[in-house]
């Protein structure tokens, strides 16, 4: 085990106020620590010096909850492919490195404090159609609804999205298309989701626009940054599903579109 | 009627709706750019070929064809430009605070500069129309540019001489070459991008669309630059 001596440039900000970078020296960081453990060590030292610790989001620390965020050296979740910040290890850095740590920046993700941003815009998009309406009561038999293996596998790929927001953070337009397309596509693909496909697609896209995310310019930075490697082909599908739903809405009977609130 | 109009409005107001319009108008413009280049290459077949071609375009459908094409192209350009400017503004507004460090991992420079290559092309289109269509600040519309074709004995506009004279002036040639380079850059992203926006791309077809886009962009640049360079630098027709 070796120790790293790092220099951090960390974004400090209180909600609604302008922020700034704070230079923090982080000597003697064990290289087997995860990035969040490194932040814990830094915070312990700040607290023992009577300074305010750096606020950052985290929960499961095993790469599945989607809470950890952080733009590390210009890339969401840091330099490792298909890896969340909590699964990034300090052995990926060299002693003497300067590490820039910023929050995910987007108008739709306002900073709550330091590196913590409010990602509830994603929840409102989900509420606008990212669900299947089911009756209450006993569930039907598990095998009553045949689903092809290919469809089940593809839906599972989309369902791997943990809603962390790295796609928004990586996109030069802060577009949420990868998230929305994965969430809509997963259900649009499955027989359980098909009946509500059009209203789901219209509802989720409209809520996405309302939240102030940017527009997709097909550069696929989102796919490169996604810790779950969600494919941009889901965006292709969302574009297609949206076009079909919009035409049906214009020419056919109007579906009632759910709203995710403001 | 008003319900359908509402839907159209809502379609345009949505992010994906606008992008689909940009893709469709982009497809129209791609078709035009190709036809325009192929037609222009007739200059290498001599004065009769290109002058007859010009005359054909001017007189198709009793002279109405050219105006139908112009109206369609104008509408396509206006929708393409207005929608992309509005999308770009929304994109800038979506990230009010810039990153101190932001690393692009996979996107090309061409894709990052679409708005700038596009706006420069818009300025070029205006210049190009003033140069060869409206013929402002030159005498390309004068009696010196009337041509009698050998084959039919028609008197037609001498497109051949106009193009040769036009590209004999270095500043015009240089601006045309810069514009074609930017068009090449714009197409290298725009061509494959439109299939994604229209929901057509698949994992298997995407690499093909990408390669086809690069090939198309290169072809358009090579074809158009060949005309400018052969006249300006190699004295073709002079």
Q: Are residues A239 and A134 in the same domain?
A: yes
- Report the pLDDT value the prediction gives residue A70, as an integer from 0 to 100: 96
Report yes or no: B1 at the A interface, CB cutoff 8 Å.
no
Task: Say how far apart CA A104 and CA A74 lie, in whole Å.
Answer: 10
- pLDDT above 70 as % of chain A: 96
pLDDT at A246 over 80: yes
Mapping DSSP onto H, E and C, the string for chain B reads: CHHHHHHHHHHHHCHHHHHHHHHHHHHHHHHHHHHHHHHHHHHHHCHHHHHHHHHHHHHHHHHCHHHHHHHHHHHHHHHHHHHHHHHHHHHHHCCCCCCCCCCCCCCCHHHHCHHHHHHHHHHHHHHHHHHHHCCCCCCCCCHHHEEECCCCCCEEECHHHHHHHHCCCHHHHHHHHHHHHHHHHHHHHHHHHHHHHCCCCCCCHHHHHHHHHHHHHHHHHHHHHHHHHHHHCCCCCC
Q: Are residues A11 and A79 in the same domain?
A: yes
- Locate the chain A residue with the closest alpha carbon to B205: A233
Find residues 192-231 of chain B whose CB sits inside 8 Å of chain A. Answer: 192-193, 196-203, 206
Number of domains in chain A: 2
CATH number at residue A145: 1.10.1060.10
Report yes or no: B131 at the A interface, CB cutoff 8 Å.
no
Chain B closest CA to A199's CA: distance in Å? 14
Q: Are residues A33 and A129 in the same domain?
A: no
Query: What's the whole-number mean pLDDT along residues B197-220?
Result: 97
Report yes or no: B80 at the A interface, CB cutoff 8 Å.
no
Q: Are residues A135 and A231 in the same domain?
A: yes
- Report the pLDDT value the prediction gives residue A251, as an integer from 0 to 100: 84
Q: Beta strands A98-102 and A71-72: pairing type? A: antiparallel
Give the nearest partner residue to B103 out of A74, A218, A236, using CB atoms: A74
Q: Chain A contacts of B106, Cβ < 8 Å?
A: 219-221, 223-224
Tens-place pLDDT, residues A83-106:
999 999 999 999 999 999 999 999
- Report the pLDDT value the prediction gives residue A253, as an integer from 0 to 100: 63
Task: Say how far apart CA B40 and CA B35 lie, in whole Å.
Answer: 9
What is the model's pTM? 0.94
Average the pLDDT over each of A90-99, A146-155, A227-236, B132-141 and give the range with the smallest value. Answer: B132-141
How does residue B142 score in pLDDT terms, banded at 50, 70 and 90? confident
Decide if B221 contacts B191 (C-beta within 8 A).
no
B111/A217 CB distance under 8 A: yes
CATH number at residue A47: 3.10.20.30
- Its domain, for residue A55, covers 3-112
A71/B101 CB distance under 8 A: yes
Report yes or no: B189 at the A interface, CB cutoff 8 Å.
yes
How does residue B147 score in pLDDT terms, banded at 50, 70 and 90? confident
- Report the pLDDT value the prediction gives residue B56, as an integer from 0 to 100: 93
Q: Chain B contacts of A241, Cβ < 8 Å?
A: 199
B100/A218 CB distance under 8 A: no
Q: Are residues A86 and A125 in the same domain?
A: no
- To the nearest 10 degrees (0 to 180), the angle between helices B15-40 and B47-59 is 140
Report yes or no: B114 at the A interface, CB cutoff 8 Å.
yes
Q: Which of A94, A112, A130 is the last residue of a domain?
A: A112
| Buried/exposed B210-235: b ≥16 CB within 10 Å, e otherwise | beebbebbeebbebbbbbbbbbbeee
């Amino acid at each position: 085990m070796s120790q790293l001596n790092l220099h951090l440039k960390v974004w400090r900000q209180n909600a609604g106020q302008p922020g700034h970078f704070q230079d923090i020296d982080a000597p003697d960081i064990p290289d087997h620590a995860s990035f969040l453990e490194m932040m814990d060590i830094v915070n312990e030292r700040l607290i023992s010096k009577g300074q305010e610790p750096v606020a950052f989001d985290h929960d499961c620390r095993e790469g599945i909850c989607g809470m950890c965020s952080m733009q590390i050296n210009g890339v969401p979740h840091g330099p490792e492919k298909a890896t969340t910040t909590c699964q990034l290890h300090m052995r990926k850095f060299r002693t003497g490195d300067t590490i820039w740590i910023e929050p995910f920046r987007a108008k739709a993700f306002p900073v709550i404090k330091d590196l913590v941003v409010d990602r509830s815009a994603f929840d409102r998009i989900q509420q606008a159609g990212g669900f299947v309406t089911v009756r209450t009561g006993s569930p039907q038999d598990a095998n009553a609804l045949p689903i092809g293996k290919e469809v089940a596998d593809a839906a599972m790929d989309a369902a791997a999205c943990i809603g962390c927001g790295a796609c928004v953070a990586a996109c030069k337009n802060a577009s949420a298309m990868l998230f929305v397309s994965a969430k809509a596509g997963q259900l649009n693909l499955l027989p359980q989701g098909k009946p509500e496909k059009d209203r789901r697609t219209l509802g989720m896209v409209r809520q996405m626009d309302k939240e102030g995310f940017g527009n997709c310019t097909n550069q696929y930075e989102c796919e490169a940054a996604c810790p779950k490697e969600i494919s941009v082909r889901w965006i292709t599908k969302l574009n297609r599903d949206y076009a079909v739903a919009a035409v049906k809405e214009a020419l056919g009977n109007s579906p009632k579109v759910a709203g995710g609130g403001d | 009627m008003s319900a359908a109009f509402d839907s159209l409005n809502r379609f345009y107001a949505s992010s994906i709706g606008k992008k689909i319009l940009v893709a469709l108008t982009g497809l129209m413009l791609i078709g035009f750019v190709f036809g325009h280049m192929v037609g222009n290459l007739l200059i290498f077949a001599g004065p009769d070929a290109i002058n007859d071609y010009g005359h054909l375009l001017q007189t198709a459908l009793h002279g109405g064809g050219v105006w139908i094409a112009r109206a369609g192209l104008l509408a396509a350009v206006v929708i393409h430009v207005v929608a992309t400017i509005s999308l770009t503004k929304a994109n800038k507004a979506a990230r009010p605070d810039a990153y101190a460090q932001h690393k692009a991992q996979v996107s090309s420079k061409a894709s990052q500069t679409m708005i700038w290559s596009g706006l420069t092309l818009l300025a070029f289109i205006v210049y190009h129309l003033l140069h060869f269509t409206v013929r402002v600040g030159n005498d390309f519309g004068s009696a010196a540019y009337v041509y009698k074709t050998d084959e039919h004995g028609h008197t037609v506009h001498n497109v051949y001489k106009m193009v040769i004279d036009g590209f004999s002036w270095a500043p015009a040639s240089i601006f045309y070459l810069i514009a074609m380079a930017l068009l090449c850059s714009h197409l290298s992203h725009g061509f494959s991008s439109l299939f994604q926006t229209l929901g057509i791309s698949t994992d298997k077809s995407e690499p093909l669309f990408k390669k086809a886009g690069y090939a198309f962009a290169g072809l358009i640049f090579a074809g158009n630059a060949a005309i400018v360079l052969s006249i300006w630098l190699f004295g073709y027709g002079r």
